[in-house]
Structure 1
Amino acid sequence: MASRNSCFAFFAALFCLGQVAAANAQLPDFTPLVEDASPAVVNISTKQNAPVHGANARMPDLEGLPPIIREFFEHGMPGIPEGGQQREAQSLGSGFIITADGYVLTNNHVVADADEIIVRLPDRSELKAELVGADPRTDVALLKIEGTGLPTVKLGKSDSLKAGEWVLAIGSPFGFDHTVTAGIVSATGRNLPSESYVPFIQTDVAINPGNSGGPLFNLQGEVIGINSQIFTRSGGFMGLSFAIPIDVAMGVANQLRTEGKVSRGWLGVAIQEVNRDLAESFGLERPAGALVAQVMDGGPAAKGGLRVGDVILSVNGSAIDMSADLPHLIGAIKPGTKATLGIVRDGERETLTIQIGALPDEGEEVAEASGRAEKSSNRLGVKVSELSAEQKRSLDLPGGVVITEVLNGPAAMIGLRPGDVITHLNNQAIDSASTFGRVAEQLPKNRSVSMRVLRQGRASFITFKLAE
């Protein structure tokens, strides 16, 4: 019996070792990738001469002090230049060389406001870098160092990347040069609240301060992203890392190199997400697309016939699943070219061809309105007034009503406030207080109803249901 048990244990151990060996055989060997790619990954440090203000920038008042203490301050402290002391601020990040003559990609936030940029190569030689250009909207910066025959990375394509693929990062977290971390792609096309023009690659690769601007590789040793951000509540890595797709980054870099700036397509609309209630209200089969909440007067959308209440479902054949998909699709279109938009209007699918404009540097907000003549609607629980001709002109509206008082009722429950301007109700344009009252009285019960509201220059659609 003992011999039998020993034999069983022996074969069980062999089986377990075989399972481990099989599992290890399926894991990638990153060694060749790291050896080939590392020479083109660089450390980036910056210096910024920042004035020190306040008490630290001034010599203390020495009058009345004992001679020995006065002598210590006079001879023991360094001179302070007129206008305040200068301190040297530093930041640390990563980057990678994309051309043999010294063009380097990194993040904008790594080099922003720097007075001096130093690129340290793997052989520990340091070179001063020139900032060719930067694009805060995508957080991409292009640098240039002097050199020939420099090692370069291989550039891949990020548009074919899929969730579950192995990826690897090389960077300088906390200043530890050429640190290698690996993981998988968690998702693609991820939209972050603070970013409109980047469909981020989400990974579980360990990224920490200092990794910013470094490359993200696929198993073929090709750069498919620039490590840019992490989601954290602790300040350190928590398993959620985000990289800028290399297709986006190179598009920006090429414009910075040739034009010195980045031009983006612009539609001239304000949009919002289509939730389940809005989808029902607009006759959509499922929540999808970008709902047009506002059309800028004189913008490309207005000239092309796009209207408030239209739902944009596609751009040049690319589907809009989430509203955040629209900005980076439009932004990638060259200004002056035409784009085909698939939309839903009044429950019917249509196609519009619009000439895309150039994204302006700054937008203008519309002033908030106030009203006079009141008209009440007890069904919604609001009092409204007509917009004056001056208010319509300043708001650039053909019509609408302004809320002067919110009573108890549906309006209070959905968060309406005095000063809000209602321009559409139940998919109908509101051109006067009488039209508002008529439409409000005919609202259906127990079905999602949409309302377009303008608040402090920002328009959005909200939904609600009237009970029996």
Structure 2
Amino acid sequence: MAQKPSTPLRRRLLAAAGAVAILGGGAAGISTYQSMPAFADQVTVPTTERSTAFDGFADVVERVSPAVVSVRVKSNRQLTSNNQNGFSFEFRGMPGLEQLPEDHPFRRFFREFGGQDDDARPNRERDRAERDRPRRERPSGQGSGFFISEDGYVVTNNHVVENGSSYTVVLDDGTELDGKLVGTDPRTDLAVLKVDTEGRDIQFVKFADDSKVRVGDWVLAIGNPFGLGGSVTAGIVSARGRDIGAGPYDDFIQIDAPVNRGNSGGPAFNTAGEVIGINTAIFSPSGGNVGIAFAIPATAASRIVDDLIDDGSIERGWLGVQIAPVSDDIAEAVGLDMAEGALVQQPTEKSPGAQAGIEAGDIIVAVNGEKIDDPRSLSRKIAGFEPDTEITVSVFRDGDTKDIDVQLGLMPKPDEMAMSSGPAQEDSQAPEQASSSLDDLGLTVTPAEDGEGLVITEVEADSDAEDKGLSAGDIILKVNGQAVNSAEDVTDATDKALEGGRRAVLMQVKTNDAQRFVALPVSRG
């Protein structure tokens, strides 16, 4: 018979068991785990046609687990100078050694332990030494993935394989295979690897039609959290269409199945064993799971994965306009019935949108007759078209809706997206010009030196203008679509808005080289 643990050890084990049983706590108290039968005794759920007996997830897990893999990534890291043993010193924010006295202790320290004063060497010599330093391939990350075909294509996240130089795909049975990077799409955080499957029977899974996924549906997450490959967690779909600020195409499925570091790139399954999404992010103040995880929807992912397999890259349609949400104030200022669509802040120079006639201040309300709800809706819609596709963009301008035909271009690479702009104005104010007060708007303005717009010289404290982020130095270019070069121009535009029954005016404002729109409420007197 096994001996009982000693009393102190036994107390620690019991305490640990108690801690595991506690799910959460806070100001509202502590919630403890209850078994499924006890819960069923207390709550009666009405039977529907969709209801089935709950037999657990073992069957589906057994079927799909062999298709889920772990992904290990190595990258070439350059060794620091005079540091072949991997031990390095780094003093961030310190002045260069050449600025220190010759007898300074740090100079002596680096002469004795670093070989020489690296920062004191000529730049050419230092650059040459940097290039010649040996590189060593070292582990740089790990994540999850899954097979989508019997010929060895593996889907994972871009951030899992980013900056990698070699990749190892670890199968469910522990077999390690070399992976080759097929292609990546940083904008949606997707990547595809390929392994040689000759002589192997590879099990794979299929993408589901995520449009049928409902909030409350069961979901299973299988992956490699913290390097613990083959881990299975379960939960439900918590929400659809989440925007977490990861990029212009955010449309995540939110799930509460526990997902942690290392689960990235792994699949989220429905109870039929189909992939409804790719786990890619978590919300966590601590870095661990708190019940909020986000998955890339399967429908969007499958199209991108197919393109990556075809040619290793993604080609998206490009309209070329900077857009912003339409707030209630902006809708009121322009006479739009509802706060919907995407406000064009500025067309990119020589872009398809600019060449077709889309202007700053236009509100894009539809594409090919399909309603645009917000900027995300427009971004996803345009990205779904191939370059050179001809589309019809409906814009709300000057109180009317206008259709504009546009031939889309090719989406530039991220490093090519910077908008070309002219040199910044050194001083937009004209000191010799008298300032004018716009009391109803809480602004003081003066004409710009180049005669285009009004420079804000003062913003009234606690005014709507201050709340909207206007500040001295901003330039007002237009008010309700009309160019303004004097305070009288602003007053005329405001009076017209009031006569038209509007309670706000829309200002096109330039800050440095960027433009935006600000709606300010107005009233008589």
State TM-score, norm by structure 1: 0.82
One-letter code of the match for 2:297?
A: P
Give the SS at the match of 1:232.
coil
Matched, 1:371 2:431: no
Name the CA shift for 1:31/1:22 in 2 (closer, same or farther; >3 Å): farther
Matched, 1:40 2:93: no
Matched, 1:175 2:232: no
Aligned to 1:296: 348
One-letter code of the match for 1:371?
A: S
* Contact map agreement 2:148 2:155 (CA 8 A) in 1: yes
Give the deviation of 1:371 after TM superposition: 2.8
Matched, 1:249 2:301: yes
* Contact map agreement 2:71 2:145 (CA 8 A) in 1: yes
Aligned to 2:105: none
Point out the more displaced range, 217-226 or 53-62: 53-62
Aligned residue among 375, 385, 393 for 2:447: 385
Give the deviation of 1:194 after TM superposition: 2.8
* Contact map agreement 1:266 1:300 (CA 8 A) in 2: yes
Q: How does 1:314-329 map to 2 (within 5 A)?
A: 314-329=366-381
Aligned to 1:16: 41
Q: How does 1:147-158 map to 2 (within 5 A)?
A: 147-148=197-198, 149-158=201-210
Name the CA shift for 1:253/1:17 in 2 (closer, same or farther; >3 Å): closer
CA offsets per residue over residues 153-196 of structure 1, 9 Å max, x none?
Answer: 02212233332222211111111111111222222222222311
Matched, 1:421 2:475: yes
Q: How does 1:453-464 map to 2 (within 5 A)?
A: 453-464=509-520
Matched, 1:50 2:109: no
Quick one: percent identity of the two aligned structures? 37
One-letter code of the match for 1:201?
A: I
Aligned to 2:96: none
One-letter code of the match for 2:259?
A: I
Point out the more displaced range, 403-412 or 227-236: 403-412
Give the SS at the match of 1:236.
coil
One-letter code of the match for 1:83?
A: R
Give the deviation of 1:217 after TM superposition: 1.3
Looking at structure 2, the residues matched to 272 and 212 of structure 1 have their Cα atoms a distance apart, in angstroms, of: 30
Name the CA shift for 1:43/1:293 in 2 (closer, same or farther; >3 Å): same
Give the deviation of 1:94 after TM superposition: 0.3
Aligned to 2:141: 91
Aligned to 2:324: 272
One-letter code of the match for 1:386?
A: A
Looking at structure 1, the residues matched to 511 and 43 of structure 2 have their Cα atoms a distance apart, in angstroms, of: 66
Give the deviation of 1:274 after TM superposition: 1.1
Give the deviation of 1:48 after TM superposition: 2.0
Give the SS at the match of 1:16.
helix
One-letter code of the match for 1:40?
A: A
Aligned residue among 335, 345, 357 for 2:387: 335
Aligned to 2:504: 448
Give the SS at the match of 1:109.
helix
State TM-score, norm by structure 2: 0.74
Q: How does 1:12-411 map to 2 (within 5 A)?
A: 16=41, 19=44, 27=54, 29-53=56-80, 57=84, 83=133, 86=136, 88-148=138-198, 149-361=201-413, 362-365=416-419, 366=421, 367-369=423-425, 370-371=427-428, 373=430, 374=433, 376-379=435-438, 380=441, 381-386=443-448, 388=450, 400-403=452-455, 405-408=457-460, 410=463, 411=465
Give the deviation of 1:124 after TM superposition: 0.8
Aligned to 2:125: none
Looking at structure 2, the residues matched to 319 and 27 of structure 1 have their Cα atoms a distance apart, in angstroms, of: 41
Give the deviation of 1:364 after TM superposition: 3.0
Give the SS at the match of 1:378.
strand
Give the deviation of 1:88 after TM superposition: 2.2
Name the CA shift for 1:448/1:21 in 2 (closer, same or farther; >3 Å): closer
* Contact map agreement 1:424 1:453 (CA 8 A) in 2: yes
* Contact map agreement 1:420 1:453 (CA 8 A) in 2: yes
* Contact map agreement 2:240 2:253 (CA 8 A) in 1: yes
Q: Which runs of 5+ in 2 are unaligned?
A: 1-37, 89-108, 114-131
Name the CA shift for 1:289/1:375 in 2 (closer, same or farther; >3 Å): farther
Aligned length: 428
* Contact map agreement 1:401 1:421 (CA 8 A) in 2: yes
| 4+ long deviations beyond 6 Å | 20-24, 58-65
Point out the more displaced range, 94-103 or 412-421: 412-421
Give the deviation of 1:377 after TM superposition: 3.1
One-letter code of the match for 1:181?
A: T
* Contact map agreement 2:144 2:223 (CA 8 A) in 1: yes
CA offsets per residue over residues 57-92 of structure 1, 9 Å max, x none?
Answer: 579999999xxxxxxxxxxxxxxxx83684723311
Looking at structure 1, the residues matched to 276 and 330 of structure 2 have their Cα atoms a distance apart, in angstroms, of: 37
Give the SS at the match of 1:329.
helix
Looking at structure 2, the residues matched to 355 and 62 of structure 1 have their Cα atoms a distance apart, in angstroms, of: 61
Give the SS at the match of 1:124.
coil
Give the SS at the match of 1:298.
coil
Give the SS at the match of 1:201.
strand
CA offsets per residue over residues 254-277 of structure 1, 9 Å max, x none?
Answer: 222222211111111111111111
CA offsets per residue over residues 422-452 of structure 1, 9 Å max, x none?
Answer: 2221x12315347744546637568222111
Give the SS at the match of 2:476.
strand
CA offsets per residue over residues 195-222 of structure 1, 9 Å max, x none?
Answer: 1123211222211101100011122211
Q: Which runs of 5+ in 1 are unaligned?
A: 1-12, 66-81, 389-398
CA offsets per residue over residues 90-115 of structure 1, 9 Å max, x none?
Answer: 31100000111101100011111112
